[in-house]
Structure 1
Amino acid sequence: MREEKLTIFTPTYNRAYTLKKLYASLIEQINQNFEWLIVDDGSTDNTEEVVKQWVDEKKITIRYFKQRNGGKQRAHNKGVEICNTELFICVDSDDYIVKDSVDKILKKWKEVCDDKNVAGIIALRGKDEKNPLGTDMPKRKYSTLSDLYSKDKFRGDTSLVYRTEILKQFPYWVAKDEKFIGEGYVYQQIDQNYCMALLPEIVIVCKYLEDGYTKNVRKLTKNNPKSYARLKKQTIQYSETWKERYMQTILYMVGCRLAKQSQIKEAPYKALAVLAYFPAWLTWKIFYKNA
């Protein structure tokens, strides 16, 4: 019996109408050495019935887990927890993958897997199968995700494949009464100790829907202020320049104001917090007070 190497993880909530395209792209993969792990975050549509039909077709290996609605990050934590393959990639319910994506990922992984300093692979996302959703990658073999954006000036979205054993060490933190924290919360921590292999190929094709996370960033911040403040506090601590620390301190204090938490007392740099107080208040007033 074949043992799958890669988990393609999909968190979903009331997206039965979009999953069909992803499923079609998975059954067309030229390399079938993967399993599809779906964590249903409390859907009230017919997601469960649709997935059960696909399981019964037995065209690919599918695992389905349904949980009480808790947001994408809690679904991600559950997916990582129950994942039993070496590699893990998140493919959202409104995305699909190129037909040779699994093959490209596994071939790249074979080149670098013996290096324990490598946490995974950074590949490209595309607006279609030929055009990346952003700039091209630098012509080198390794980078951290943060260096890719800050030092190489990469712009756009990436497809991230991680060693599952590493992801298990860095679960998402989400406040008890909230449902979302930015994905950077995990990626920043991994970047402190590991690098990533670069794969300058499109593996995921992405379409942002009106009900998706990307289109609702400001609303997410307002609805999840404690988690937002925690993410920004971590970002300040990992920032390499004072300019970046200052800008992130402004955003941290906006989150604290929205969460009705002390803005200066818990700030990593008290002097920066004092300097950031008025810009943070202005940002809150313009973008959030009446939002």
Structure 2
Amino acid sequence: MKISILTPTYNRKKLLKRLYTSLLENSKYEVDIEWLIMDDGSTDNTKEIVKEFIKENKIKIKYYKQENQGKMSAINKLVTEATGDLIIDCDSDDYFTHNAFEIIKEEYNKYKNEENIYGLCFLKYDQNNNNMGNEFKNIKTTMFDLYFKEGETGEKAIVFFSNIRKKYKHELEHNERFVTEARMYHKMDEKYKIICINKPVMICEYQEEGYTKNIEKQFKENPYGYYEYFKEILQRDMKGVNFKKRLYVIKHYILFSYLVKKYNSKIINGVTNKIVYFLLIIPGILKSISFRNKKT
């Protein structure tokens, strides 16, 4: 079994050593490891650090470089280069548990021949050994149902079956540099399901400059991608999605549709009643005005 680890990085040379060490620790489980790194224009000698890893010749490492095109562009390119049976996106502030690949190997052998499955979804812990979300309620589900109908929260570690993952990419709109991963997951949900396993395989340490820490900045800089994301959610079967989640989606659809000047009230029809709609539309418009006027 071969695993391709995809890591986009920007000025994170100090963190790459930790991830590298965790990969070495997992190499004892008779797994062929391929680590693909995309340097997105780093200025902190990331290339030199990676060269040292490559020189050690302990695992297969491929280094690529692009100039400030963003995380999603980096992942799209690395997916095309991956040759493993499995693909795992692993940010530079993430690293693997000491027995992650043993667990992944065991679960992959269990489910690899099951039809219409695009991967395995594991738990992700923080550095204090706390689960970053809830435990899974169902073994087989979709990412949309997991977060919008089953009450899941927090990040997960997703192990993709390579033959399915290579059919999809992160769709960037209007030369934007970021789009939520969930947009691609939801497209995969249309044909496939994912197996959920209540075991941790990855540890995360959020950085102050990371994407998740700066969500409002991401919203403002990438409105077209978020507009498409929330529009696509509203066009899905919302049966089973609770009222609070519906409000969240509608509010953000209104916000981004006004930011990109593509508002269409028909998309909201059937998702909620007119009273709720009118209660949300004014705050949504005001928020879009605030976004336009606020400095990044």
**TM-score relative to the length of structure 2:** 0.88
Cα distance, 1:285 vs structure 2: 4.8
Shift of residue 78, structure 1, vs aligned partner: 0.6
* Mapped contact 2:178–2:218 kept (Cα < 8 A): yes
Instruction: Name the SS of the counterpart of 1:216 in structure 2.
Output: helix
Q: Is the 8 A contact 1:98 1:205 kept in 2?
A: yes
1:33-72 pair list within 5 angstroms = 33-72=32-71
Which residue, out of 22, 26, 29, partners 2:23?
26
1:7 maps to 2:7? no
TM superposition shift of 1:65: 1.3
- Quote the offset at 1:59 in angstroms: 1.1
- Gaps (5+ residues) in structure 2? none
Question: 1:286 Cα shift?
Answer: 5.8
- Partners in 1 of 2:248 and 2:103 — Cα distance? 38
1:171 offset after TM fit, Å?
0.9
What's the counterpart of residue 283 of structure 1?
Answer: 287
Offset of residue 117 of structure 1: 1.1
Provide the residue aligned with 1:206 in structure 2. 204
Cα distance, 1:86 vs. partner?
1.6
- Structure 1 runs not aligned, ≥5 long: none
Q: Measure how far apart 1:201 and its partner are.
A: 0.9
Q: Per the alignment, in what secondary structure is the counterpart of residue 59 of structure 1?
A: coil
Which stretch shows the higher mean deviation, 275-284 or 99-108?
Answer: 275-284
**Is the 8 Å Cα contact of residues 129 and 205 (structure 1) preserved in structure 2?**
no
- Aligned length in residues: 285
- Compute the displacement of 1:110 (Å): 0.6
1:100 Cα deviation from its structure 2 partner = 1.0
Contact kept? 1:250, 1:277, Cα under 8 Å: yes
Give the secondary structure class of the aligned counterpart of 2:147: helix
SS at 1:238 equivalent:
coil
Match among 184, 188, 191 for residue 189 of structure 2:
191
| Cα deviation 1:148-188 (Å, max 9, x = unaligned) | 22333222221011112222222111124321111111011
Q: Distance in 2 between matches of 1:181 and 1:219?
A: 12
**1:59-80: CA deviations, max 9, x gaps?**
1111111123211111111111
CA shift, 1:245, in A, is 5.4
How much has 1:54 moved relative to structure 2?
0.5
SS in 2 for 1:137: coil
Does structure 1 retain, via aligned residues, the 8 Å contact 2:220–2:291? no
Corresponding position: 1:120 with 2:124: no
- CA separation of 1:282/1:176 partners in 2, compared to 1, >3 Å: closer, same or farther? closer
Is this contact kept in 2: 1:130–1:202, CA < 8 A? no
Amino acid at match of 1:234: E
Match of 1:217 in 2: 215
CA drift at 1:96: 1.0
Does residue 133 of structure 2 align to residue 134 of structure 1?
A: yes
Q: What CA deviation, in whole Å up to 9, does each residue of 1:251-283 have, x standing for no partner?
A: 123113333x23228x63468797453231133
Amino acid corresponding to residue 103 of structure 2 in structure 1: K
State the identity %: 33
Tell me what 1:75 maps to.
Answer: 74
Q: Distance in 2 between matches of 1:158 and 1:24?
A: 21
Name the residue aligned to 1:249: 250
Counterparts of 1:34 and 1:285, CA distance in 2: 48
Match of 1:258 in 2: 259
Tell me the SS of whatever aligns to 2:267.
coil
Q: 1:248 to 1:152 in 2, by over 3 A?
A: closer
Instruction: State the partner residue of 1:235.
Output: 233
Q: 1:141 to 1:246 in 2, by over 3 A?
A: closer
Report the Cα distance in structure 1 between the residues aligned to 2:139 and 2:52, rounded to whole angstroms: 41
The one-letter code sitting in structure 2 at the alignment partner of 1:141 is I
Q: TM-score, structure 1 length as denominator?
A: 0.89
Structure 1 counterpart of 2:178, from 161, 177, 180: 180
RMSD: 2.3
Distance 2:9 2:129 in 1: 26
Amino acid of the structure 1 residue aligned with 2:127? D
Amino acid in structure 2 at the alignment position of 1:192 = E
Within-5 A mapping of 1:84-163: 84-128=83-127, 130-138=129-137, 140-163=138-161
Q: Amino acid of the residue matched to residue 155 of structure 1? A: T
Contact 2:174 2:224 (C-alpha < 8 Å) held by counterparts: no
